[in-house]
Structure 1
Amino acid sequence: MSIWKRCAIVLAFAVGPLALSLNTTPAEESAQQSELLNDSLKRQQVEFKNEISPFLNSYCVACHGPDDQSGERRFDVLTGDISDLNSLADYQDILDQLNLGTMPPSDETQPSTDELRKTIKWLTQAIATFHETHRPTPSETVLRRLNAREYKNTIRDLFNLKTLIFDPSHGFPKDRAVDHLDNIGESLVISGYQLERYLDAAEIIVNKAMFPVEQPEIQTWRFTDGFRQQKEIDQVHVKVTGFDHLRLYDVRGADKHEGGYAPIHAFAEGVPEDGVYEIRFLAEAVNRKHPYDPDFLGTDPDEPLRLGIVPGDHLVGHLHKPQPIEPLLAAIDLADKKEWYSVDVWLDAGYTPRFTFENGLMDARNLWSKLIRKYPDDFPKQKRPGIVEARFNAIKYGKLPQIRIHEVEIQGPIYKQWPKPSQQVVLGDDWTEVAATENLPPAQLHRHLHQFLSRAYRRPATDEEIARIVDVIDARSQPGRSNIEALSDGLKTVLCSPNFLYLDEGEEGELSAYALASRLSYFLWSSMPDEELFQLADSGEILKEEVIREQVERMLESPKSSEFLDGFLGSWLTLRDLGSSPPDRKDFSKFYHYDLDRAMRQETIFFAQHLLDENLSVLNFLDSDFTFVNKRLADHYDIDVEFENWYDFQQVALKDNRRGGLLGQASVLTVTANGIDTSPVVRGVWILENLLGTPPTPPPPDIEPLDPDVRGTTTIREQLQKHRDNPACNDCHRSIDPPGFALENFDAIGGWRNSYGKGKPIDASSELATGESFKDVRDFKTLLRKHPDTFLRGLTGKLLAYSMGREIHPTDRPTIDRIVQELDESGHGFRDLIVLVALSEPFRSR
């Protein structure tokens, strides 16, 4: 019998409130309720002994009994009494597997329809009885520490600081993830090293926010010659250009850069203060229409040459090489002639602007010799073989696409207002007077500290808490130090306080208004509440269901909701690991040449954002007839579509559903590969664990890992078949391998392939544990969408865990089932799902 016929006979059994007689006293009602419950439990025991235990012995104990405990489950010792969370997990697992049709295995003896119906009915009623008679187990962790993402965003919003370049969490230990979630309170422990980093960060943050006290004067720097770049190409440029202009050749993704960055070494120490700086430069695109084979160079003559500006810090490393922090501050398509351009960019103190060639050549160092070998008639005959002469000839005589920058002018810092926003956060309109008079009366100080501490602690600060900070400020008010410097020391103390570093959600029970406001803001913004949430917490209105609904809608409309997608998708889909296994540069050079890493990530974010904005069905995650691509990603997918701008993303209709949904997106396909090749096992585990929420049991410790060179095998399918010949491996691999095989047509960066190396054809067909078969990824996704309950429960559970910052407990299952049921009735909207999670009892409770 197929899974779907089995599911058709599953009844929606639910134990409702026990019927009680009218006109009874509370004591009588309690006695009647207790008597009815005892009668129900007695009937359960009789039914278990007569019907359920024989069922388990006939169909389950062979694999889950004294001789074999597949999946670390043993069912021969079950008594029919669901008394704790461990036994609840066993019975829930049996029910889920029966409903899914994955157990008993399709190649084993199957129960009759009547046997299956009775067993499912008993399990459903017994589990429901447990949930009605047991209170949910509260989380063990009362305080949840801010993770690095939340810390950075909270600092940004608390002080109104720019964090495009500045990362206050830089150097923090990596947050430990649980089920890929980086915000689970239990795992966010604190160490002595972490405390040291908090102290260092507080010093940097407060100094950046409070100083300089007086507005800096605008300065201007001009550079017209002496443009050295890097040792390797300077020896050519001195002869060819005399250093009278900068030249860019490589993209940032190149391996060994030569002309990938154009720094201004005379401005290596960077700007003196944080602020906006106007950068004017005279530049031109040269040789866009080149005489060479476009496929050889990897550039399109119809595409404008694109100049970028990124920050550089000479204290971190060489300015002509990549650095850990280099966001794209500006990007401009250049004309094929000299023109002046002007951009305003934010630069932190000590950072200098560096020019880049965003769509340039790939690995120019290797290209010099290749170009001469391919077009020998265009170049003088080399007297000495080697890179030095090849580089000279290619640069001097070649017509490679390049960007030239002839003059640069930098002016700033430019402030729209002074005092700057971070100073106004601390002293408001009093900043100018306090800075000028060096007078900060106690009442005035108390008022400002109350406002600041209440925002930092995300609840009203007490007089005692304020007094402790005042004591610090008084102790630091020494001769030769201004009152603002002393105040700064007090603020550093605030940033190291547990009241700031931890989310205090109180004791067991309903969250307080302030705790609920914080839970909402860290769920949807990964940051502190804004003024409206604080006001609703002050009045208590935030506790009302209709207000929660309104706030979720408002918060999702905010630009800060992008933090939700970044945090949740990074955890759920493990996008945070994208790039941790860099693809092989030889086989997948376009990953680096065309910045596919960023494009892949953006596709998934734009896709999820669209589902959120339009409240479209979350089943689109499984399969869809649209996606979002830029020109480079469209080329990667072989999608023929016109683009007005090569770099902007646009929604495209998919004529072939190979690419529909997450399983066709290169971000997922890359993060589930090892950078060199693909593995059905890795991808299969990822699908079960992340997409369906049904992680397989870890392999036994005595099982050898899959040997990639099994004697007598020629394909991964044959290797896995030999692996599955081991009974200890077969039980898990029969569930893992089929989803992985469905994705075998996608290579390590998500490109489509029909064969492996040496022309061996790819077979993407397989059979699910339910007995249903598919030919390729198209069929596989059709099966997933046709019966989506497992996906919906997995997604809901993951989102609920992320929203609360704690792991899901077995007692959360009724909440998840209710949300899934409401989703089924409303059309599975992504926004609807988020609202339902925020309205759920676990989300609103401690």
Structure 2
Amino acid sequence: MKHARTTFLSVASLLCMAVAGPLHAEQTDDVAIPEAAKSFVSATCLDCHDGPDGEAGLDLSGISGDLDDDHLFETWVRIYDRVKAGEMPPPDSYDTDAKTTDAFLSTTSDWLRTHQQRKWKAEGRVPARRLTRKQIERTLHDLLGIDIPIADRMPEEQRTHGFTTVASGQAMSHFQVERHVAAVDRALEEAFRRALTPPDRELRELSARQVARRNPKRRTREPEMIDDLAVVWSSRLIFYGRLPATTAKEDGWYRFRIKASALKAPEGRGVWCTVRRGPCVSSAPLLPWVGAFEATDEPQEWTFETWLPKGEMLEVRPGDNTLKMASFKGGQVGAGEGGPQNVPGVALHSVTMERIHRGPDDDTIRTILFGDLEIQKDGKKPATLKSDDPQADAARLVRTFAGRAFRRPVSDDEVAPYVAVAMASLEDGDSLLDALRAAYRAVLTSPRFLYFREVPGSLDDYALANRLSYFLWSRMPDEELMQLAAKGRLSNPQVLHEQIDRMLNDPRGERFVADFAAEWLDLSEIDFTEPDRRLYREFDSIVQQSMLDETHAFLNRLLDEDLSVANLIDSDFTFLNSRLARFYDIDRVKGDTLQQVMLTPEDRRGGVLTHGSILKVTANGTNTSPVIRGVWINERLLGVRIPSPPENVPAIEPDIRGATTIREMLAKHRSIESCAACHVKIDPPGFALENFDAAGQWRERYPLLSKRRPGGGPKIDPSYELPDGRTFQNAEEFQSLILESPENIARNVAEQLLTYGTGAPVGFADRDDLDRIIAQAAESDYGFRSLLHAVIASPVFMRK
């Protein structure tokens, strides 16, 4: 294939291999390349890609037809895709007639599909898949009735094809097993504690004086008393506004009601404040987020719920970086030092702190663990269970618990090892309580608990209940799903349709969008970088959290109202509070409540594409890169996969002097033949969004990094052209061009949902089913909810 170096990059990066047997050698039937494919490659490719010195490092002379080699299979898929897309052979190389090309495509497609279908029939399209740490936590909550954090006790999980749910990337090392056992022990400890001890009760009603500093003469970081109110002034001093009176005596969930008002608020707006938690001492890490509110002259009350570990407290303070800041020397604040500086502040009127539990009460937990057995307490002696036949009661309770934990009916043989654990414990003289705990521990550390039980072919109703529940709720199936599975009714299309809507409308379904978007859109990584404060002075933690809230609310609206997924690219609405609206330079939003806002062209916003959350996770905190954003948009929103760059090509680094634009540097980069084929896809969306800086704000010029000037560099040019030659001048025109083919957006969303929900990426043999999903969703203009229904009802979702 002549002059194909620039058009064959993605294949070149995959085919630099030593393969057995030349193309023209004798091959067995198992690895025989179809004649149409063999002749097509021989006629159009070997002139330039024959031998180790082949153009772009691509040697096709020895390519094999052994499709059992996953790498070779994917190589043939990419060759097929490039030919089908018209990227190869290059038009100026060979006059390949349509008949020959069609024969190659048809034959190769049948060959690849048949092989993959045969493999899946024997093995299943999804390898053995286990629960993620988030799913383990929520499952333990459901099983035991507890509410304590568990996930952070287990190792971080890698993402494969974008998701932690993908089976091929789920490792299970000795360390992971050890941490899983430790997490199970902590969960059982909490469940037995709540079942056997008095209820957790605590209520503190704290006045302003009680949350302020005790000694007004001492310089400290607690609020000071002014006019019978506990006051914290706007400042950058860390841990200023800490409230020792809220220190937790025990780990737990707490509900706080904070009554507050603003002092010296800026004209026309209130004082935005943050509520965070932590030890609030110099050696403490960054404070986790609890919430935010906009204090006004009129006192108001806000309610927050947070997990508060023992020894941690709240910090309440002005958190808007655009406010005038007070300066305090020596790391402490003396009474009377902030007021004369004429800065805004927050005045706390009262704080109420109440210990709560999220989930079942203690009686329910006792029933989960001990059934109808009575707990006996004798003074200071350990509690015991009253039982006339401990062996029989233990066997009965273990069997019931195992059935719930394994999320399907269990046979006597399956439950026997766990009953044996309880029996052995009793024989050793342990109490019935200890015997049950040992057996429950064995159940919860079993592969039957940790892994999905699926066999090749169509899922049975129990497997379907599990896949559906962990997809939409990231937790175990509830009683209704299990009852439908028991009756064999869940796989009925109408019943399945009704259950999808029930689950999405259930409070447990409120987390679906956040769970899915955390990985699909990389929102879980929004804390990975912090925008340079000297360049992005208006950015703060309130803005960042509001950005996440905006994207979650936006996606939920698409789902709730079945709006087209084309809104991901552009829309006439979004969700803002007054702080984020001001950050976006939109001046018609009041209050700290997130609200739907209709957009105008002057707002320069529309679609997830222009959400601050997305713009931030696709930047490095200092400057933007059209390459990083371009790759991200292609893969996450447009459904175009970009291969990794060649190792010998250096990355583009910004010119901190501002003498050279990123456009000029990339033009030189694209002159490298091995880079051009990918950059024709990467650069258009990357340049289209260049007017949005690393913090998500609009800009006209690049920053001058050497002098930390946000707008002192060269003027930004967002114009470019798409791979098909259509040109655009700005982001709006780019969005319009992309939306001429909304089916591509829908196809990508469907692929992302299938990958996340089934635990395997969409394969070549899934493509016909994917086409049917998109055709079905087209009837609703690619509504997000309709697309989700079509995905779940598809054969891809309904089989292992």
Per the alignment, residue 203 of structure 1 pairs with 185
Count residues in correspondence.
Answer: 751
> For the Cα contact (< 8 Å) 2:373–2:387, is it kept in 1?
no
Per the alignment, residue 450 of structure 2 pairs with 501
SS of the residue corresponding to residue 326 of structure 2 reads helix
Equivalent position to 1:815, from 769, 775, 786? 769
Q: How do residues 301-450 of structure 1 correspond to structure 2 at under 5 angstroms?
A: 302-303=269-270, 305=271, 312=278, 314=279, 318=281, 325-328=288-291, 336=298, 350=310, 353-357=313-317, 359=319, 367-368=326-327, 394-405=337-348, 410=353, 419-428=362-371, 430=373, 438-439=386-387, 441=389, 442-450=391-399
Q: Deviations over 1:289-346 (max 9, x none)?
A: 4xxxx4xxxxx5532x56776554x5xx639966565534x96957656x9x696857
Equivalent position to 1:703, from 649, 652, 662? 649
> For the Cα contact (< 8 Å) 1:66–1:76, is it kept in 2?
no
Q: Distance in 1 between matches of 2:216 and 2:667?
A: 53
Q: Distance in 2 between matches of 1:551 and 1:571?
A: 25
Alpha-carbon RMSD: 4.2
SS of the residue corresponding to residue 177 of structure 1 reads coil
**Deviation of 1:751 (Å):** 1.0
> For the Cα contact (< 8 Å) 2:532–2:621, is it kept in 1?
yes
Structure 1 gaps of 5+ residues are: 1-37, 295-299, 370-385
Cα separation, partners in 2 of 1:700 and 1:617, compared to 1, 3 Å: same
Per the alignment, residue 627 of structure 1 pairs with 574
**Deviation of 1:681 (Å):** 1.0
Equivalent position to 1:777, from 700, 714, 731? 731
Equivalent position to 2:479, from 517, 531, 549? 531
SS of the residue corresponding to residue 729 of structure 1 reads helix
**Deviation of 1:575 (Å):** 1.7
Cα separation, partners in 2 of 1:257 and 1:348, compared to 1, 3 Å: closer
Cα separation, partners in 2 of 1:744 and 1:208, compared to 1, 3 Å: same
2:745 is aligned with 1:798: no
Q: Deviations over 1:598-651 (max 9, x none)?
A: 1112222222211111222222222222222222222222234343x3232324
2:488 is aligned with 1:540: yes
Cα separation, partners in 2 of 1:512 and 1:64, compared to 1, 3 Å: farther
**Deviation of 1:489 (Å):** 3.2
Q: Which deviates the most, 95-104 or 530-539?
A: 95-104
Q: TM-score, normalised by structure 2?
A: 0.82
Q: Which deviates the most, 134-143 or 255-264?
A: 134-143
Cα separation, partners in 2 of 1:237 and 1:811, compared to 1, 3 Å: closer
**Deviation of 1:803 (Å):** 1.3
SS of the residue corresponding to residue 532 of structure 2 reads coil
Equivalent position to 1:263, from 238, 244, 252? 244
Cα separation, partners in 2 of 1:810 and 1:360, compared to 1, 3 Å: closer
Q: Distance in 2 between matches of 1:712 and 1:326?
A: 36
SS of the residue corresponding to residue 219 of structure 2 reads helix
Per the alignment, residue 376 of structure 1 pairs with none
Equivalent position to 2:261, from 272, 285, 289? 285
Q: Distance in 2 between matches of 1:238 and 1:80?
A: 72
> For the Cα contact (< 8 Å) 2:233–2:317, is it kept in 1?
yes
Equivalent residue letter for 2:731: V
Equivalent position to 1:741, from 669, 674, 687? 687
Q: Distance in 1 between matches of 2:665 and 2:594?
A: 43
Per the alignment, residue 249 of structure 1 pairs with 233
Q: Distance in 1 between matches of 2:223 and 2:592?
A: 36
> For the Cα contact (< 8 Å) 1:657–1:778, is it kept in 2?
no
Q: Distance in 1 between matches of 2:517 and 2:501?
A: 19
SS of the residue corresponding to residue 357 of structure 1 reads strand
Equivalent residue letter for 1:723: H
**Deviation of 1:183 (Å):** 0.9
2:564 is aligned with 1:617: yes
Q: Distance in 2 between matches of 1:344 and 1:363?
A: 24
**Deviation of 1:84 (Å):** 8.3
Per the alignment, residue 668 of structure 1 pairs with 614
Q: Distance in 1 between matches of 2:421 and 2:41?
A: 68
Q: Which deviates the most, 554-563 or 95-104?
A: 95-104
Equivalent residue letter for 2:454: E
Cα separation, partners in 2 of 1:455 and 1:468, compared to 1, 3 Å: same
Cα separation, partners in 2 of 1:348 and 1:539, compared to 1, 3 Å: farther
SS of the residue corresponding to residue 243 of structure 2 reads strand
Q: Distance in 1 between matches of 2:373 and 2:306?
A: 26
Structure 2 gaps of 5+ residues are: 1-28, 378-382, 704-711
Equivalent residue letter for 2:44: L
SS of the residue corresponding to residue 156 of structure 1 reads helix
> For the Cα contact (< 8 Å) 2:135–2:475, is it kept in 1?
yes
2:122 is aligned with 1:161: no
2:172 is aligned with 1:190: yes
2:670 is aligned with 1:727: no
**Deviation of 1:199 (Å):** 2.0
Per the alignment, residue 92 of structure 2 pairs with 109
Per the alignment, residue 133 of structure 2 pairs with 148
Equivalent residue letter for 2:346: I
Cα separation, partners in 2 of 1:131 and 1:433, compared to 1, 3 Å: same
> For the Cα contact (< 8 Å) 1:98–1:120, is it kept in 2?
no
SS of the residue corresponding to residue 143 of structure 1 reads coil
Q: Distance in 1 between matches of 2:769 and 2:222?
A: 71
Q: Distance in 2 between matches of 1:326 and 1:826?
A: 39
> For the Cα contact (< 8 Å) 2:223–2:232, is it kept in 1?
no
SS of the residue corresponding to residue 327 of structure 1 reads strand
> For the Cα contact (< 8 Å) 1:142–1:504, is it kept in 2?
no
Per the alignment, residue 440 of structure 2 pairs with 491
2:38 is aligned with 1:56: no
Per the alignment, residue 553 of structure 1 pairs with 501
Q: Which has the larger radius of gyration?
A: 1
Q: Deviations over 1:193-231 (max 9, x none)?
A: 212211221121112122141434755556665767699
Q: Distance in 2 between matches of 1:816 and 1:284?
A: 53
Q: Deviations over 1:795-818 (max 9, x none)?
A: 322221111112333222222223
Q: Distance in 1 between matches of 2:418 and 2:190?
A: 20
Cα separation, partners in 2 of 1:131 and 1:440, compared to 1, 3 Å: farther
> For the Cα contact (< 8 Å) 1:274–1:347, is it kept in 2?
yes
SS of the residue corresponding to residue 354 of structure 1 reads strand
**Deviation of 1:529 (Å):** 0.8
Per the alignment, residue 461 of structure 1 pairs with 410
Equivalent residue letter for 1:453: A
SS of the residue corresponding to residue 504 of structure 1 reads coil
Equivalent position to 1:638, from 585, 592, 596? 585
> For the Cα contact (< 8 Å) 1:257–1:363, is it kept in 2?
no
Equivalent residue letter for 1:451: T
> For the Cα contact (< 8 Å) 1:745–1:753, is it kept in 2?
yes
Per the alignment, residue 706 of structure 2 pairs with none
**Deviation of 1:413 (Å):** 6.5
Per the alignment, residue 374 of structure 1 pairs with none
**Deviation of 1:485 (Å):** 4.4
Q: Distance in 1 between matches of 2:492 and 2:620?
A: 48
Cα separation, partners in 2 of 1:110 and 1:615, compared to 1, 3 Å: farther
**Deviation of 1:402 (Å):** 2.5
**Deviation of 1:348 (Å):** 6.0
Equivalent position to 2:219, from 197, 218, 235? 235
> For the Cα contact (< 8 Å) 2:373–2:385, is it kept in 1?
no
Q: Deviations over 1:377-428 (max 9, x none)?
A: xxxxxxxxx6679977642534433234466665666999863433333235
> For the Cα contact (< 8 Å) 1:513–1:538, is it kept in 2?
yes
**Deviation of 1:655 (Å):** 3.5
> For the Cα contact (< 8 Å) 1:186–1:806, is it kept in 2?
yes
Q: Distance in 2 between matches of 1:217 and 1:706?
A: 57
**Deviation of 1:765 (Å):** 1.0
**Deviation of 1:744 (Å):** 0.8
Q: TM-score, normalised by structure 1?
A: 0.77
Q: Distance in 1 between matches of 2:628 and 2:532?
A: 18
Q: Distance in 1 between matches of 2:188 and 2:211?
A: 37
